[in-house]
Amino acid sequence: MNKAFRKINYYRKVYRMILRLNYVKMLTYRADFFSSSIAYTVWATFTILQILLLTSRTSHVFGWSRDELLMLAAMYNLIFSFFYMFFSRGFNHFATTIHLGRLDGILTKPIDSQFLITCLDVTYTHVIRFVLGLVFLMYLLFKVHIVITPLLILGLIFIGALSIMLIYSFWMIVMTLTIWFPKVSNLTDLLYQVNQITKFPQEIYKGASIYLFFILFPLTIIIVSPVKYLLHTLQWSDFLVLVVSSGGLFLFSRFFWRFALRSYTSASS
């Protein structure tokens, strides 16, 4: 038990240093921070405008009201701004790290290679998008008369963490393919587009083929589950699906990464 606590404390100190170094980097390139923050704020606004346009002639779409769909948009901004802030830049550099042989240095360090390659780069430019998503979500909760309690907040944080774990695991599995195909550097562009699937309710995709829906289903619960929890419509079966999907994919991503490393021959080969 003491060994586990020492290991957790070690990783906590390492990650705190990573956050500090990335904060210094942000202060060094402040113009880039402000320009990127504006761009991401526009994207967040566009996500909400999409829902407003979709419901401009009807108040319900696939059984979801306009306010509920707006909650999906707000939750999408909230969940993905957090994911992009802490993980996306690491994934963006994934293929380059492997192709240029920088993975050699990561593998020699006394720390988990998956943790280091995905968590080394943090971008604070998504902070404003996160705050806007949070404020807009609180406004919608007030509008639909949902009382915000400490228990509701704790439950939302837990379900949100499961959703982020599911996104992370899916990205990790896909990006691990660059071990075998290091020159395929545009996989992240594909993943950014796949993320768009999550901001719409599951009912939209039920008309797709059974094979396509089977692939999309784990992604469609990422945003829907936290919103259903806030609306008090999340069933235990939905919660179990989220737990099993996020936990199962995360364990598989760990196994797949370690399996892929057996095929890595380093930059010198």
Within a domain: residue 269? no
User: What is the predicted pLDDT for the residue at 214?
Assistant: 59
pLDDT at 65 over 70: yes
Q: Give the CA count within 13 Å in the CB-facing half-sphere of 164.
A: 19
**Mean pLDDT of the region 241-269:** 87
Q: Give yes or no for a contact between 80 and 123, defined as CB atoms under 8 angstroms apart.
A: no
Helix orientation angle between 66-83 and 30-54, rounded to the nearest 10 degrees: 160
List the alpha helices (DSSP H) in 55-126: 66-83, 89-92, 94-99, 103-108, 113-119
pLDDT at 207 over 90: no
Within a domain: residue 239? yes
In the beta sheet, which residues pair with residue 64?
Answer: 61
The SS3 of residue 61 is: strand
**Mean pLDDT of the region 232-253:** 92
Per-residue pLDDT tens digits for 19-56: 999 888 888 877 777 888 888 888 788 888 888 887 77
Give burial (CB, 10 Å; 0-12/13-18/19+) of 94: buried
Q: How confident is the model at residue 249 (pLDDT cuts 50, 70, 90)?
A: very high
In 3D space, the residue among 193, 169, 178, 21 whose CA is nearest the CA of residue 96 turns out to be 178
The SS3 of residue 60 is: strand
Residues 6+ positions from 47 with CB-CB distance below 8 Å: 73, 76, 77, 199
Within a domain: residue 266? no
Within a domain: residue 46? yes
Within a domain: residue 57? yes
pLDDT at 254 over 90: yes
Separation of alpha carbons 222 and 266, rounded Å? 35
Q: How far is CA 20 from CA 24, 25, 86, 133, 153, in A?
A: 6, 9, 13, 25, 27
**Mean pLDDT of the region 220-227:** 89
Q: pTM of the full predicted structure?
A: 0.90
Q: How confident is the model at residue 197 (pLDDT cuts 50, 70, 90)?
A: confident
Q: How confident is the model at residue 106 (pLDDT cuts 50, 70, 90)?
A: confident
Give burial (CB, 10 Å; 0-12/13-18/19+) of 98: buried
Task: Give the chain's domain count.
Answer: 1
pLDDT at 68 over 60: yes
Can you give the residue range of the structural domain that contains 176? Answer: 2-261
User: What is the predicted pLDDT for the residue at 209?
Assistant: 52
User: What is the predicted pLDDT for the residue at 140?
Assistant: 92
Per-residue pLDDT tens digits for 134-189: 999 999 999 988 988 999 999 999 999 999 999 999 999 999 998 888 777 678 88
User: What is the predicted pLDDT for the residue at 168?
Assistant: 95
Share of the chain above pLDDT 70, in %: 93
Q: How confident is the model at residue 216 (pLDDT cuts 50, 70, 90)?
A: low
The SS3 of residue 147 is: coil
Q: Give yes or no for a contact between 155 and 71, defined as CB atoms under 8 angstroms apart.
A: no
Separation of alpha carbons 263 and 181, rounded Å? 11
Q: How confident is the model at residue 258 (pLDDT cuts 50, 70, 90)?
A: very high
In the beta sheet, which residues pair with residue 60?
Answer: 65
Least confident of 5-14, 34-43, 169-178, 197-206: 197-206
pLDDT at 195 over 80: yes
